[in-house]
Amino acid sequence: MVAALGDPLRLASGSVLPNRVAKAALEEFLAVDGQLPGDELIALHRRWARGGAGLLITGHVMVDGRAVADPRDVVLEAGTDLEPFRRWASAARSGGGQVWMQINHPGRVVFADQGGLAWSASAKRVEMGAFTWLYATPVAMTGEQIAEVVARFADTAAQAERAGFDGVEVHAAHGYLIGQFLSPLVNRRADGYGGDLAARARLLLEVVAAVRGAVSPGFAVGVKLNTADFQRGGFQPQDAAEVIGMLSGAGVDLVELSGGSLESLAIMGHAADESTLAREAYFLDAAASILADAPLPVMITGGVRRLPVARRVLESGASVVGVGTALAVDPDLPHAWIAGEHAEATPVRVNWPDKKLSSAAVQALVHARMEDLAADRDRSTGPLRALLTERLRRRPALRRYRKWGKA
């Protein structure tokens, strides 16, 4: 029997999601001094909580302050002041749903002007054409550095539980560090962390084991995984199916399937591989073969903005519908859909000739909308203005981050 959007979902840890609609992670760019969650980020999640989603997954929180994807990202490490995180968790739970912290390490996806660390599976730089120079040149990680990163994921998960979050989601998608190890295009290692898929998945499995061991049995642990990288010769749906099989006995409650990376841009609806188009539920086709035999509950994320499509995700065999950008446009969609109302969010699209700039502009528009939600206002902002404003706001954030890193 196919579940309804309003049905609860009991997870292996024993925790229960009150419904099947989840707010997927969106990088908020709202960290304040000390790389902490501030009033704006807290207000944003309180607004999303009112929308009725059974699960809110935060934007990624970095496990190592020396390595962030952007100087406006939140960092949570052992010893970090937990009070602002407690306020964040409380606000996100205020609507009756759960809140999970997405925890991440960027690996090589680090801007060169930030300083700090750029670690990866191999010393292979991000390839972004004319924009490649913006990214740091990574170094291949040593065994000691891998062990340190595993421990940091566990520390951050334990801190998240102390702060009142209901779970964490380990980010292993979108070309960040764990995804770099999974990718045969990036991972060229000749040791026990490279080669066949089992070896490339070793870092993910060690992180999950360490996280599970650092938190209580009732604390949820999820994993975000690509259905595919959408790059020729990269991570494929069959790989994802095998990795989910590896995770089935590891204490994982939910696997979120998304896709793409910074290089392929599939997460913004611009896939390098034409097998995936910029359409609603654009990862559902790629996930179809995975869902058929998945041994764990699966959440599908990517482009869902209408009730019929949300229902189709559950009919396909998924347990949870992940909604990201659409909830920045209309945060009340979960309540509407569960009530059977055919509400829909207007898609955020920018059709400039350069796909990379178009994706950056879409991201900037979404960030502007999140700022409006946090401030309870409604503005009309064009893509060029949003993109320029975002670049200008990064400058003081970069100065704060570099000063904080030297403290």
Cα angle at 302 between 39 and 271, to 5 degrees? Answer: 115
Predicted local confidence at residue 224, as pLDDT: 97
Domain boundaries, the chain: 9-345
Predicted local confidence at residue 261, as pLDDT: 62
Determine the residue type at 7: D
Predicted local confidence at residue 263, as pLDDT: 57
Q: What is the mean pLDDT of residues 26-35?
A: 97
Q: pLDDT tier at 274 (50, 70, 90 boundaries)? A: very low
Beta bridge partner(s), residue 177:
none
Decide the pairing of beta strands 320-323 and 298-301.
parallel
CATH class of 9-345: alpha beta
Between 199 and 356, whose confidence is greater? 199
**Chain segment 41-92, per-residue pLDDT in tens:** 999 999 999 999 999 999 999 999 999 999 999 999 999 999 999 999 999 9
Predicted local confidence at residue 119, as pLDDT: 98
In 3-state terms, what secondary structure has residue 286?
Answer: helix
CB atoms within 10 A of CB 340: 10
**Chain segment 107-145, per-residue pLDDT in tens:** 999 999 999 999 999 999 998 888 889 999 999 999 999
From the list 199, 206, 284, the residue with the least C-alpha distance to 242 is 199
Q: What is the mean pLDDT of residues 158-174?
A: 97
Predicted local confidence at residue 301, as pLDDT: 92
Q: pLDDT tier at 279 (50, 70, 90 boundaries)? A: low
Q: Is the backbone of residue 265 left (phi > 0), alpha (psi -120 to 50) or beta?
A: left
Average model confidence (pLDDT) across the chain? 92
Q: Is 233 exposed, middle or buried (0-12, 13-18, 19+ CB in 10 A)?
A: exposed
**Chain segment 293-348, per-residue pLDDT in tens:** 999 999 999 889 999 999 999 999 999 999 999 999 999 999 999 999 999 999 99
The answer to whether 18 touches 96, Cβ cutoff 8 Å, is: yes
The answer to whether 220 touches 98, Cβ cutoff 8 Å, is: yes
